């Protein structure tokens, strides 16, 4: 059993239950959009963040980018880090709200941690993401480039894959999906290594993932 920290009760009151190893899942999540909180501590202090995912979009986007990396380091890292229970590639640190937030609690055992987390969640996090529990709202969040979920914080190629999946779920026409992603090509290109052909021509990747989602969806029962 994962060791509880002083903030666990507070997080439960806020609607987050311990899932495993300092990962908390929102009880107010929906099957379409799951929300997580991640806490970690070490010699340099506390780090924490939140993640958002649609399970289908998450899996599709990761598989699509893995096709482009074969055996390179990034592909191996994605495979090793993936946990079906709680992995989110759309993950953002609390420091995006306040780079000095953790100064008020020095470790995971600090009794002040509960107060710090409560203030961060209620005052910063909930206003930004609490209403994102439907596919269309999650799609809007990923398309936009708003704080704290900026494109530059995420892997743009993976984000593009998730947008394709979510947009198809919402019935968005392929031409509109392509136009939406073309406006973000710079960020999508940055999701690839400099040696990747997709880095110089992200439009090929956009075409591929748009074509791949209907093919995948058509195989599901």
Per-residue pLDDT for 166 more than 60?
yes
CB 181 within 8 A of CB 188: yes
Question: What is residue 1's predicted lDDT score, i.e. its pLDDT?
Answer: 42
How many structural domains compose the chain?
1
Residue 62 falls inside a structural domain: yes
Closest alpha carbon to 81 in 58, 101, 57, 104: 58
175 found inside a domain: yes
The mean pLDDT value for 102-113 works out to: 86
Question: Is 208 a member of any domain?
Answer: yes
d(C-alpha 68, C-alpha 56), whole Å: 19
Q: Is residue 2 included in any domain, yes or no?
A: no
50-88 per-position pLDDT tens digit: 999 999 999 999 889 888 765 555 555 555 466 778 889
Structural domain span for residue 183: 8-217
Nearest-5° Cα angle at 163, 99 to 97: 10
Looking at the domain assignment, is residue 111 inside a domain? yes
């Amino acid at each position: 059993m994962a060791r509880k920290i002083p903030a666990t009760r507070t997080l439960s009151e806020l609607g987050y239950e311990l899932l495993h190893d300092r990962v908390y899942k929102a009880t107010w999540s929906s099957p379409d959009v799951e929300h997580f909180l991640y806490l970690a501590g070490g010699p340099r202090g506390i780090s924490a963040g939140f993640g958002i995912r649609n399970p289908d979009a998450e899996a599709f986007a990761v598989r699509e980018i893995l096709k482009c990396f074969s055996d390179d380091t990034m592909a191996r890292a994605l495979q090793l880090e993936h946990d079906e229970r709680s992995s989110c590639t759309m993950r953002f640190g609390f420091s995006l709200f306040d780079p000095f937030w953790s100064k008020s609690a020095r470790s995971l055992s600090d009794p002040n941690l509960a107060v710090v987390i409560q203030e961060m969640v209620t005052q910063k996090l909930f206003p930004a993401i609490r209403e994102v529990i439907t596919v269309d709202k999650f799609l809007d969040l990923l398309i936009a480039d708003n704080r704290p979920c900026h494109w530059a914080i995420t892997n743009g190629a993976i984000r593009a894959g998730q947008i394709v999946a979510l947009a198809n779920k919402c019935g968005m026409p392929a031409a509109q999906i392509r136009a939406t992603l073309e406006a973000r090509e710079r960020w999508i290109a940055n999701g690839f290594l400099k040696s990747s052909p997709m880095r110089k021509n992200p439009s090929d990747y956009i075409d591929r993932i748009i074509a791949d989602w209907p093919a995948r969806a058509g195989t599901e029962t």
